[in-house]
Amino acid sequence: MNKRSYLLLITIVSALGGLLFGYDTGVINGAQFYLSKHFDLDSAMKGWVVGSALLGCLVGAIAAGPLSIKFGRKYSLIISAFLFSISAFGSGLPSIFPESLSLLVVFRIIGGLGIGIASMNAPMYIAEIAPSNIRGKMVTYYQLAVVIGFFVVFLATYFIGNSLTDAENIAFGWKHMFWSELIPSCLFLILLFFVPKSPRWLALKGKDAAALTILTKIHGPNQADKEIEQIKSSLKTKDNGIEINYFSKIIFGIILIGTTLSVLQQFTGINAVLYYGADIFEKALGFGKEDILAQQILLAFINLIFTFVAMFTIDKFGRKPLIYIGSIGMIIGFLLLGITLKEQSVGFLSLLGVLIFIASFALSMGPVVWVLLAEMFPNKIRSVAMSVAVAAQWAANYVVSQSFPVVMDSDINNGSTWNGSLPYFIFIAFIVITMIVTYKYIPETKGKSLEEIEDFWKE
């Protein structure tokens, strides 16, 4: 097997963590529409059932740093795959205990643990094995896998939902939607045993010879020698082994910048649309129940297509230009949706606004944030720094998913002033903030090695 094929193979396997991320978070969209009726949930309880997995994601992301340092990126991903499989199987157990909503929540939290661990380790692993000239494209495979996961799960829920009557879907169809995740989760678990360990993690543990062997398979002998010397140089400290001070001005500043960008990805409102798309289409846009799952497939398809656009432009245009372009598109999309809702002229323009928003996010904040988080942190602090940034992202995700249905059903949002449009104007404000933060604080990492990116913070 040539080095290009080898790199592509291990990238695809590790990116399956993203597919499970997308599948697990996407399955709740179709399922919650029916399980909410099964358990007769109010807005607050619906937010809890949807958002409970995100608490697991938060804990998983926090644990991912220590796990990644101790066991490495590969074995951390194996742990996440195991948790995905337990969650997928257990989420169907309410078939045996029909009224056990609490049991469902427990297994959703277990799945969240897997997502939290995978969402940090998968893009970081890919960044640590990929050549600098195509690293953006390689890490974008992770985000591509996320949206493929969303697309596949929407197809699965559409197939399951349309093969059963409404009464059957409310009674047990949503449980089959959860169980469908067992197929990709078990595949991910098996394939992970065939990928190598991260060469940068091996070097961090003093296993330079093993790291060089893997780098040689990926880059060839000449480039591998250069890479290992750069890695060893970046790991040397002037403090002769003194522990890193994460609260020093420089290191804390780097982590704060990455964490802010990570949080802002969620405050664009993407998961409000993805998690509650069924509710948006039914309540805000007036679609009939029979059309809702089909509309979700349309969203997932747009998400998929424009992630491909990002994949083939991120190493050509750079990271920051894509964020600017996508942010402008997201603002336009939510303005169309918000204004048509506010003026009570819901129709084609409203749907177009949602699709423009999804497309713009998919070519910008979706993949680019994961690429930047995997790139921007120095080798010595990458595991801890990325763990903090990803944990904060899941906390922000939880805030959005928990509060969105409450705000949507609030009196102020449904009064004559806003007519259901308030959340989208709030999201627009955060998108503007995202552009400002990107301009002032985010480095352009296109074409630079991970060790060269470290020099940006020393300037």
pLDDT score recorded for residue 47 = 74
Write down the pLDDT at residue 290: 58
Report the C-alpha gap between 308 and 16 in whole angstroms: 16
Q: How far apart are CA 92 and CA 218, in angstroms?
A: 41
Handedness of CA 268, 269, 271, 273 (dihedral sign): negative
pTM of the full structure: 0.83
Q: What is the pLDDT of residue 283?
A: 59
Written as six digits, the tokens of 61 are 């992301």
At residue 239, the pLDDT reads 45
Beta carbons within 10 angstroms of residue 353's beta carbon: 22
- Contact between 199 and 211 under an 8 Å Cβ cutoff? The reply is yes
CA dihedral sign, ordered 188, 192, 195, 196: positive
Write down the residue that tokens 């597919």 correspond to.
Answer: 19
CA 36/CA 374 separation, integer angstroms: 37
pLDDT of the residue at 165: 85
Question: What is the token pair recorded at 47?
Answer: 């937010």
Q: What CA–CA distance (Å, rounded) separates 341 from 361?
A: 21
CATH for 3-458 (1.20.1250.20, 2.60.40.1180, 1.10.540.10, 1.10.3720.10) = 1.20.1250.20
As averages over each run of 10 residues, the pLDDT of the chain (459 residues) reads 86 93 81 83 79 87 93 96 93 65 89 93 93 91 90 84 84 87 94 94 92 91 89 67 77 95 96 72 60 72 93 95 98 94 86 92 96 92 94 89 85 90 95 97 92 80
